[in-house]
Each structure stands twice: as structure tokens, then as C-alpha cells.
Amino acid sequence: MRPYAPLASTAVALAATSACAHDTVLPDTTQEAVCDDGIVESGEACDTKSPGCYACGVVPGWTCANDVCSPVCGDGVVGTGASCASPHRASGCDMTGFWAVRETDYERDMVLQSVQTSSNWYLYELAQSGDGFDVVASMDCGVHVSGSATVDYSPGSLRGMLHANPEDGSGPHGVRHGSSTAVGGGCNVSLERWYFLRALDPSFLPADFSDDPPLSSMPPLPSVGDPVNGPDDPPGATDPDGDGFKGLGFQVTGFISGLRDEAQRIWKQYADVPGAPSPASAMTFAVPGAIDVQLSVLHVSQCGTACDLLKAGATVATDIQPRITFSFIGLALDGARTSSIVVNRPGANPDDDLTTCANVRLMLPHDPSLPPGYVASSPNGP
């Protein structure tokens, strides 16, 4: 022991008992932010009941100053005053311009037979001449299903499906047409039947859609014997999400979870019911329609002990009418309003396309509610 150690120890002990400093951390002044409590807290851009504020974030095409949200005018949108009150389209029934589109349909899972609400988003650029319009550009902006399970495109699927099933004439089936006709103070809007493939090669559709063939008239979808253990390589199936398994990957979460790769064939068509037109010049309106779906589960993974449940698919709930909801973005990409939502010409850059699609989903968020009057517990509806 060093000779001065006792002296040092004594002196240090004495010193340590006096004039000691302490570090202090004062209590935090706010609790964790809670969305929908009406208070704009840290991390929130807004917290008010307004279509311009969703999940405490500002919806594209809106501004929220001091938690008061108002739409952005211009670029084909007109309103009153600086706050753009009562916004509407300047073009009446003319559908020309960019649109955020959400298709809502309903399914029943094959395990519990409970109703699930499905949203499928698109970006459309439309060009109208006379009473008819054509799809000039389109993008598949994703899927979200709520109910007994939550289902989304996997990230790979979202990227892989962006420009699948083209409706703008760049594919083998020409241009998808629609119409918007002024009638009785409103607009009769329709969008012709169109066929979609997910993870299937084009041979699973007829070359000509014009006679509206039923899905049952087409070649059967590829199938596999054991989606859990594979490995099957069904002919005709593709792997658009690049996950190494044939089929389009859907991420399932909820009481079961995992990744389900499916092949799907779908048609959809929409038209206003005679006598019940859509409001003219409306920024957002919905048109009823019809849908049919065929699917084949090709592979399930990341599902632990629930793989047998996961491989069970869903069927269309034919007793609940689907609808398509249009929300006007703006007339042209050089407009400030439009370019803040459609950040680049569709197809020019995949990352920009994903950003545009995220904006589309925010403009028309998923609405899990069932149509008024529908009793959810009834397998066959009201």
C-alpha cells in the first residue's frame, strides 16, 4: 500500500460528504401524444375532425394552420375566399384530370364467414371528350383489408403491381373507357368492366373484353397441392413481388399472421344507378358497381402454427354492393396542387410512384364501416 493512501482515503471521504453536487432531471411536461384528443401534440400536424386531417397528419391537397384545415384551391379547384370554402371542380361533369380512386368491396373469410372490407386504391388520369372519357394513365396503389384479419400488399407487391393491368392502352386490351353525362343537376358516371390479373400471365384473360365474359368461362387458375410446404411451380403463375414464391404476396396480420401468396383474377365495373346521379362538380363522389373475384392460394409462409388458417382465402360478399370513390386531385401536373400529390409523371420513377400512391391512400383513407343498414352478423346480409 502506498504510504499516502490512508491519508488520501480519509481526505476524500471527508470531502465527499460536503458540498456534493447532484444532477437532476426534471419531470417531463407532456405525456405521449394521443391522436384524436383534439390537442395538437408533439409529432402531430393536426388533431381535428376534418377531412383534411387524417391520423393527425395533413391530407394531401389540404392545409392545416392552427389546427383549422382547409382545402387548397387552384388547378381546377375553386372555392370561396382565402380558405377555399365550399371547394368544387370548375369543370362540372368533365372528368378530365388526375383522380385519387378507392374501390371498396366486401368479402367473407372462409373460416369465420365474417365480412371484411377491402380498399383498393388507384391513381387515374382521365381525359374526357363529349360524354366519354378515357384512362390516360393509371397506377395500382395498393390494397388494405380490415375485418377478421388485416391484409395489405407486401412492400414487394406494392412496388410490383404499380403498373400491372394497364388501363391506358399500353397493354394488350386497349384503353378503358368511361362516361360522365350531365343529367338532372348531376352526372351519370360509369366506368366499363375491366379485368385484372394478379400474379398470372396474360393467357388467363381473353384478348377481347368487349362481351364481358364471366370469370368462370376462362381457364382455371393454377393451384398447388400444399401451399404450406410446397414446392410447387404452377404453370402460368408469376412472382411480381419478387419474394421467390409464385403468387402475389399479401401480408396478413391480426389473430393470424403471415405472408400469403395468391393468384387472382378479377373484374370490376361501376355505374350510377339511373335516377341517382353523382353530384356535379363534386370534389369527391362514389359510384356503385359490381365485382367478381377468383383466387388461388399458392403459398403461405411466416405463419407459425396458423398456416392452415392462413391458406384459407375469402369470397366476394355478393350481398354488399361495392363502390368506387373518386376524389379530384387537379387538372395537370404543372399545377401546384396536383404536383404536390402526383409528384412525378406516373411511370417515370418507381420511388416517386410510391410516394404518389401514398398520397392517394391518404386522400381517400380506408373506411372499414359497412353500408348503412347492413347487419354484420348475418352471413347473407340484411
Partner 1 sequence: MRPLSIAFTLSLAAAALLPRAAQASPLIELAGPVGGNAGVQGVVSGPGAASTYFNPALLADADDGVLLGFSLVSEQMGITLQGRNGGDVPAVVSGRNILVPAPSGLQPLPNDVVPTQWLQQGCPAGTQANQCPAPGFGARPRQGQGTSGVTRSYLVLGLVKTLVRDRFTLGLYGMLPVSSFTQAQAFYPDEREALFSNSLHPELYGDRLTAVSIAFGAAFQILPELSVGAAVSLALSSAATSQDYIQDATNYSTLLTNNKVSTTVDVAPTIGVRWRPTSWLRIGGTIHAPESFDVNTTIDSTLPTGTESGATQKNVFDWMPWQVALGAEADVVRRGRERLSVVGSINYGFWSQYLDRHGDSPSMYGADLAWHDTLSGAVGLRETYRSGRAFLDFRYVPSPVPEQVGRSNYVDNDRFGVALGGDVGLHLPANIRPGFQVFADRLIPRSNQKNDARVLDELPDGAVFGGTHDPVSGAKGLQTNNPGWPGFSSGGWIWGGTVTISVPL
Residues forming contacts to partner 1 in the complex (CB under 8 A) are: 2, 4-5, 7-8, 11-12, 15-16, 19-30, 32-33, 35, 41-45, 55-57, 142, 153-156, 158-159, 351, 354-355, 357-358, 361-362
* Shortest Å distance, C-beta 46 to partner 1: 9
**Integer distance in angstroms from the first to the last C-alpha of the chain?**
92
* Shortest Å distance, C-beta 265 to partner 1: 25
Other CB atoms within 10 Å distance of the CB of residue 242: 12
- Residue closer to partner 1 by CB (options 21, 82) is 21
* Shortest Å distance, C-beta 231 to partner 1: 25
- Residue closer to partner 1 by CB (options 32, 211) is 32
- Residue closer to partner 1 by CB (options 43, 371) is 43
- Residue closer to partner 1 by CB (options 365, 381) is 365
Contact 132, 178 (CB under 8 A): yes
Beta-carbon contacts of residue 85 (< 8 Å; ≥ 6 apart): 70, 79
Instruction: Count CA atoms closer than 13 A to 254's CA, side-chain side.
Output: 14
**Cell numbers 379547384: residue:** 77
List the beta bridge partners of residue 105.
118
- Residue closer to partner 1 by CB (options 41, 319) is 41
The DSSP element (H or E) to which 351 belongs, if any, is: helix 350-363
**Cell numbers 406516373: residue:** 346
* Shortest Å distance, C-beta 152 to partner 1: 8
* Shortest Å distance, C-beta 336 to partner 1: 17
- Residue closer to partner 1 by CB (options 177, 366) is 366
Q: How far is CA 40 from CA 48, 50, 200, 213, 268, in A?
A: 8, 14, 47, 53, 41
* Shortest Å distance, C-beta 343 to partner 1: 10
Distance CA 355, CA 344 (A): 9
* Shortest Å distance, C-beta 20 to partner 1: 6
Instruction: Count CA atoms closer than 13 A to 9's CA, side-chain side.
Output: 6
- Residue closer to partner 1 by CB (options 134, 239) is 239
Residue 44 buriedness (CB in 10 A; 0-12 / 13-18 / 19+): buried
